[in-house]
Structure 1
């Protein structure tokens, strides 16, 4: 499986703020990936060609995944994985900060800019996350009620951070300000 993480970047003048949303999704493949047998067709999880039966019996959202790993992996492994994911995201954000919004005419006008990214992350058996893809415009349609709920919450929380709406509960976690 891979994990879809949502990263929000907000730029106000020269300051960039980076947030990870606690909502997200696990994608499952229809066949196992085997490094020892590269002659077979390899499927990278996309969400479009998933093993539905397997998916229905395994965690769908990131919250469910974290609870599942904590319960069955023992030792707070889910918490450990997401601590490592946040570290990886901070490293990516430092690299992003050098190019995001630098040439924008809006920066000079003092307006607020934002961008939502979808990042796909794999994890190995030692819970080491590996970034495999960054999507500038992540898919916000849904294929399940759980997915609809967390994507709606992402949009609501994004508008809340930007000051367009008011809410007491926001599931974006600040991971870095530069």
Structure 2
């Protein structure tokens, strides 16, 4: 019999409420005694703050780690990946090998990125070495495409500096910005740019336990991609965020495919493709082995981004987290990690969206709760495979380190795991 669980949430989303109600749970307020809390990132920060004085008991669980921002804040993500590379170099790991130009061979999955205002002089040096490149500027702590713009001239940066009133004075600026080399050769389908949203569930950072969801999706722009540089100000060309694209144009004459040349947002498919459709398309146009290698590379970048933050993440046993990874694929089928979202949207923009996100939440709850359905910090967080649903185990360092294979691959993977062969065919499809 399913346990009666008191839950609370500050997100009024049907995919959450329907999952909780299906289990016979009942809603309470945050001030009441609760067992399970699906909270926004800001709520979690307040709850874990020193000032709150709140202490969770052994039967409470919440959907964020206290320091999740080490992975999900754009500037901290870059800083932690760079630190991870340096540490591996100091250890003499082959993972940190570089080619003749100084680029990382195995860990080159982040576009060249600088923090502003702190790295302004370094950015200028890089810009002058490659003056014909485009850069994308983003506020480090915002989401949904807010405050993003593209530049291809230093004068544009200087104008932005003036417009934001001494933004290069670190004592005055409140918002850190990241400026990254723009991926100017994205893979296009039907002439349109897209990115890939993948869901990754982490149930523990020490030891690291993570799962990849098989049912991600692509988000398409509504406007054809322009390579001339004349459309730098048109975010409908460059940013795939649904929060932006749905305001792009009329939906009175919906097009049949997300890659239609018509410049409009389609409310039926929401400008989205399931990841399985992308996979079939790529297998048909690029071949199965090349497609398998792409998805293996995506697994690789996810694993190493998690390993980069694991040592500094506050791995509270009351916590789990579902991250939304945003990935751009270039025309050479190389994946680039653009950002990681702490609270991927649970809003359903289409019927398929609602089905996917309902199942996502259902599978998350099945994995993070012990067999009796009651949160318990003393549980080892090793669910039986029949609880995985559409998740695939990405790595479980505890299981691996206790196995007979612990001595294999550890130098290359800091504790080993399922992904020891970078280009073996991935099992999630």
> TM-score, structure 1 length as denominator?
0.81
For 1:80-159, what aligned pairs fall within 5 Å after superposition? 80-102=293-315, 107=316, 111-159=317-365
> Which stretches of structure 1, 4 residues or longer, exceed 4 Å deviation after superposition?
56-59, 164-169
Compute the displacement of 1:36 (Å): 4.3
1 CA distance for matches of 2:326 and 2:283? 21
In structure 2, what is the equivalent of residue 176 of structure 1? 395
Cα deviation code 1:115-140 (max 9, x no counterpart): 11111100011111001111100001
2 CA distance for matches of 1:59 and 1:77? 23
Aligned residues: 170
Cα distance change, pair 81–159 in 1 and its aligned pair in 2 (3 A)? same
CA contact (8 A) 2:219 2:272 kept: no
CA contact (8 A) 1:9 1:116 kept: yes
Query: Cα RMSD (Å) of the superposition?
Result: 2.6
Cα distance change, pair 56–6 in 1 and its aligned pair in 2 (3 A)? same
State which structure, 1 or 2, has the greater radius of gyration over its C-alpha atoms.
2
Compute the displacement of 1:83 (Å): 0.9
| Matched residue SS, 1:72 | helix
Compute the displacement of 1:75 (Å): 3.2
In structure 2, what is the equivalent of residue 30 of structure 1? 222
2 CA distance for matches of 1:156 and 1:145? 17
> TM-score, structure 2 length as denominator?
0.36
CA contact (8 A) 2:303 2:394 kept: yes
Structure 2 unmatched runs, 5+: 1-193, 249-253, 261-270, 374-383, 398-429
Compute the displacement of 1:171 (Å): 1.4
1 CA distance for matches of 2:203 and 2:323? 11
CA contact (8 A) 1:68 1:78 kept: no
1:18 to 193, 210, 229: 210
User: Is 1:6 the equivalent of 2:209?
Assistant: no
For 1:54-69, what aligned pairs fall within 5 Å after superposition? 54-55=257-258, 60-69=273-282
